[in-house]
Amino acid sequence: MNGDTHVRSLALWLVLLAAAATAGDRDPAAYVVVDGVSIPEPLTGAPGDAARGAAVAADPARGGCLACHRGAAALDGVGSRLDAGRLRLMVVNYALVDPGVAKPAYYDIPDADGHDDAAPLPETRLTAGDVEDVVAWLATLTE
């Protein structure tokens, strides 16, 4: 292999690696729901950032949480009522908490049988980092 071919191969490898890394954040990783009420382990190795979480919650093109969570469905005090594991499950897929509520899953994986029985994903679902950011923000809402 000459030097030019080697450089092209390396460049292609780097592009594919970057694409895989980006896609990997969009492809939900497995998580464990404990007792049907909590995902106690974070979806990422890094703690969430509350400021970024507030931005995701306010952005209608991403989480858009605040479009519905006003008035009767306000999030006031949610951080003092629920722990991070419960908040995480509610963001990931609220249908696992209360199947009767029509709320989309924002981060989900198909069931073992290959069928996704969750509420439909929004057009742009959240990344694992987005979920952790939103959980960090929700945890600050203690009043």
* Shared-domain flag, residues 61 and 126: yes
* Shared-domain flag, residues 23 and 35: no
* Shared-domain flag, residues 35 and 105: yes
Distances (CA, A) of 97 to 79, 94, 118: 17, 5, 11
Return the CA Rg of the chain: 18
State the virtual CA torsion across 23, 26, 32, 33 in degrees, nearest 10: -170
Q: What is the DSSP letter of 120?
A: P
pTM above 0.85, yes or no: no
Q: How many domains does the chain have?
A: 2
* Shared-domain flag, residues 1 and 15: yes
* Shared-domain flag, residues 76 and 132: yes
Give me the tens of pLDDT residue by residue for the chain, a chain 143 residues long: 555 544 444 443 433 333 334 344 455 567 888 998 999 999 998 899 999 999 999 998 888 888 888 866 789 999 999 999 999 999 998 888 888 888 878 886 655 444 455 555 444 479 999 999 999 999 999 99
* Shared-domain flag, residues 62 and 87: yes
**Which domain range does residue 112 map to?**
31-140
* Shared-domain flag, residues 55 and 97: yes
Beta bridge partner(s), residue 34: 38
